[in-house]
Amino acid sequence: MAKLLKKPLKLALVQLSTGADKTANLSHARSKVLEAASKGANLVVLPECFNSPYGTKYFPKYAETLLPSPPTKEQSPSFHALSDLAREAKTYLVGGSIPEYWEETKKYYNTSLTFDPEGKLLATHRKVHLFDIDIPGKITFRESEVLSPGNKLTIVDLPEYGKIAVAICYDVRFPELAMIAARKGAFLLLYPGAFNLTTGALHWELQARARAMDNQVYVGLCSPARDMEADYNAWGHSTIVDPNAGVMAQLDEKEDIVYADLNNEKIEETRKGIPIYTQRRFEVYPDVSEGKVRYEE
């Protein structure tokens, strides 16, 4: 079978501490991404809402205009910071997510930008599934009070490595996105995300391992560092899982960077041992990847 991952790749997930000062957040992200690149990372990932505090009351205040693309530096300091940083670090960069405002729809989105080592924008993913939950006595949160959902699946081609998929946080709970991306040839599923102390303890690692197990691909979940002074307390525990659902590396709740070396051999070995890719029965049930899938907003 054709190689999904054309050559070995060093992945780094930056579990960033963020505060209320956007300029300071961007500067801090820069130092951490450069640190990861200096350790040999070819692909660096930042967490969800890495440029701002996470919370519905913060989205409008910190939102930036990304369209038409490219925006000006005034419209989106984060876009330009990420583009410049990818070029400076000479690495692929998945810019976690930032709050986006689109003048055309007058709506806000939770948006991830992926840049190549030349600083060129490769892909934009708006969070498809909004985080609206209510666990009595534990947590109630409704992103939909402020945000609107994106309307597409995001697969990004990194020419010398292969395809990856990017989605955001709550998107990980919907296995369809992962299944489609994997069947379309992605070797890695990346989810910048900020689970909380309730859902993080329950499901964070489980979701990462489940998506890896179902699809026999690598999975990376990148969280912000935990700040107990903040309104929203992130779980942390950024995690990289191999195609056999084994945890390769995982952090605790504090700021740090987690690394792993990904190779095609592990994907092939896993799929050879448990050959689900040749055993699916699409005459019994439908193949979700062949249905009506949207790749454009």
Known catalytic membership, residue 22: no
Q: Which two tokens stand for residue 45?
A: 């990932």
Q: Does the annotation mark 127 as catalytic?
A: yes
Provide the residue type at 166 as one letter.
V
Q: What is the token pair recorded at 158?
A: 């990194």
Whether 48 is a known active-site residue: answer yes
- Of 290, 48, 294, nearest to 151 by C-alpha is 294
Among 99, 90, 91, residue whose Cα is nearest residue 58: 99
Whether a cis peptide bond, with omega within 30° of 0, leads into 68 is yes
Q: Which of 146, 147, 148, 178 is nearest to 164 (CA)?
A: 178
Q: Give the pair of three-digit tokens for residue 17.
A: 């501490």
Among 49, 64, 169, 266, the active-site one is 169
Of 260, 47, 293, nearest to 179 (Cα)? 293
SS (H, E, C) 237-288: CCEEECCCCCEEEECCCCCEEEEEEECHHHHHHHHHHCCHHHCCCCCCCCCH
Strand pairing category for 107-115 and 162-166: unpaired
Taken as a whole, the chain contains a residue count of 297
Paired tokens of 31? 């130092």
Residue in 22, 32, 49, 127 annotated catalytic: 127
Catalytic residue set: 48, 127, 169
